[in-house]
Amino acid sequence: MSNALPRSATTVALLADVPSTGHVGEVRARRFTMHGDGIGERSAEFVSFAQQELAAGRKVVALYPAWRAERAERAINFVRGAAGTDHVAGIAVDLSPLALSLIADQLAYLAPYLPPGMVAALCEELPRHILAGAWLRSVSHLSTIPTSLRQHMGSYAPSVSFLAYCAPTARVERLRPSDPLGSLPFQPVQPVQLLCSTPDPGITRTFDDHLPPAIRPVATRNLPAQPLGPVYWGSGRYVEFVALSAHPQALAYAAGSIRASACSWCGEPTAAPRCPFCSATASRTPVPPIGGRPAPAPGIRAAPRTGQTSPSEIGPPPAHPPPPTSDASALPPRTPPVPGPPPQSDPHRSYSH
């Protein structure tokens, strides 16, 4: 008998004008731009969609940018009130548009293999496994990431530029050409892929000369600028980027690092102090494991934790997408395999921090 969870348990939506990066092939979160003259017009499409999903027995995890939250929150509250249900969870994510777009599609990729509460928990966990931010000539109008007075003053110097990070931590650093690697707050596990976008291709020289050599990506994709990029970065002169691991077990181990407990009211597994669906306090009862724990990939130290979910507990270990391709058939199969013995380690691959 298979331990796989129902494939239709969760639907992921993104309530913002944030187009997909296409990095996960055809698997994408359902997007709603929230444009319109009034709250009714802006919310109508999402409300209709959510009602259809609820009627089909699916829960909805609705992401929206924390720095542009009002319209999304009103739409989510309207759906919950009109339907009289707590099966719609609104999750505010404090990420830049490019990073938010990637995380939403990664969640949609993982959703068939996870219970809804775990999908919601990954909204906070996945950003810890990427390096996301932007190269900026000036931070004088940057309000979404904390900046210092010294950094504001440095924006007026002709030779100074900055690297502003929103994941895994939010901070701003002065770009030091002599040591760009020393200022990086995080290095994704090799091999690394790099996604970039800018509204002004003529300003990328400083970025191209310093950040990619420090990250050492095996593949780089230049994407169209996100419509909300200038709003988030406070400028039209920026190069936004996301560096992520292309290791085949990257997403599985991100999911396996979550400590999940059952909600004391609805029973949904959750990692937050309060359930994202019913808002009840999570109990101290860890979610029971569904299957055995496989051997970690080479270089990873196994650190069992009470209530921690292992990659085998989420069905298959969903492989991270290979280097960018337009052929969706190149993605890993989405049908959960029958549980079997742990995979054999490949001595020629490494997965070390």
Evaluate if residue 13 carries a pLDDT over 80: yes
Residue 115 lies in a domain: no
Evaluate if residue 26 carries a pLDDT over 70: yes
CB 314 within 8 A of CB 113: yes
CATH number for the domain spanning 165: value is 3.30.1180.10
Residue 78 lies in a domain: no
Specify the higher pLDDT residue, 332 or 172: 172
Note the pLDDT of residue 177.
Answer: 74
Residue 209 lies in a domain: yes
Cα gap 212→207, rounded to integer Å: 8
Strand-pair category, 88-93 with 219-223: unpaired
Residue range 261-274: average pLDDT?
A: 84
Note the pLDDT of residue 316.
Answer: 42
Q: Residue 294, Cβ neighbours under 10 Å: how many? A: 19
Give tens-digit pLDDT for 115-159: 999 999 999 999 999 999 999 999 999 999 999 999 988 888 888
Evaluate if residue 302 carries a pLDDT over 90: no
Note the pLDDT of residue 239.
Answer: 98
Residue 72 lies in a domain: no
CB neighbours of 173 closer than 8 A, spacing ≥ 6? 162, 163, 164, 165, 183, 185
Residue range 94-121: average pLDDT?
A: 95
CB 50 within 8 A of CB 60: yes
Evaluate if residue 226 carries a pLDDT over 50: yes
Residue 291 lies in a domain: no
Evaluate if residue 3 carries a pLDDT over 50: no
Residue range 319-323: average pLDDT?
A: 43
DSSP 91: E
Note the pLDDT of residue 39.
Answer: 87
Residue 38 lies in a domain: no
Evaluate if residue 45 carries a pLDDT over 80: yes
Give tens-digit pLDDT for 324-349: 333 333 333 333 333 333 333 343 33
> Into how many domains does the chain fold?
1
Residue range 58-72: average pLDDT?
A: 97
Evaluate if residue 283 carries a pLDDT over 80: no
Evaluate if residue 312 carries a pLDDT over 70: no
pLDDT band at 180 (very low <50, low <70, confident <90, very high): low
Residue range 27-43: average pLDDT?
A: 94
CB 163 within 8 A of CB 189: no
Specify the higher pLDDT residue, 48 or 262: 48
State the residue range of the domain holding 238: 129-245
Residue 202 lies in a domain: yes
CB 261 within 8 A of CB 285: yes
Residue 65 lies in a domain: no
Note the pLDDT of residue 237.
Answer: 94
